[in-house]
């Protein structure tokens, strides 16, 4: 099963100005097979994007908690939420 899903970001402190580029990256410590990713903000079921990275040109409504969900077809794991201000 998947485990150890983690997020990292550039810039590392998560504080960005309007219009800046914020890059979130998702990593999986253990898991087998082809992985797929989806990105969610504030518990929304609708994905913001798919793939191991999410790039945001930060706007007024982009603050909040972001999570990456990884699946290998058999199991799904979520990262801890990451707060962006």
CATH code of the region 3-84: 2.60.40.10
First to last CA, the chain: 32
| pLDDT tens sequence across 8-47 | 999 887 678 899 999 999 999 988 779 999 999 998 989 9
11 phi, psi to nearest 5 deg: -70, 155
Buried-state track 16-40, b at ≥16 Cβ within 10 A, e below 16: beeeeebebebebeebeeeeebbbb
Identify the CA nearest to 67 among candidates 75, 77, 57, 56: 77
Band (pLDDT 50/70/90 cuts) for residue 48 is very high
How high is the pLDDT of residue 6? 95
Q: Which residue has the tokens 């810039």?
A: 11
Q: Hey, what are 27's tokens?
A: 């990593």
Q: Which residue has the higher pLDDT, 83 or 68?
A: 68
């Amino acid at each position: 099963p998947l485990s150890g899903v983690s997020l990292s970001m550039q810039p590392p402190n998560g504080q960005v100005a309007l219009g800046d580029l914020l890059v979130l990256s998702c990593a999986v410590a253990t898991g087998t097979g082809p992985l797929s990713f989806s990105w969610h903000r504030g518990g929304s079921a609708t994905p913001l994007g798919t793939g191991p990275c999410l790039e945001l040109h930060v706007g007024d409504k982009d603050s909040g908690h972001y999570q990456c969900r990884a699946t290998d077809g058999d199991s799904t794991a979520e990262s801890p939420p990451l707060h962006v201000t």
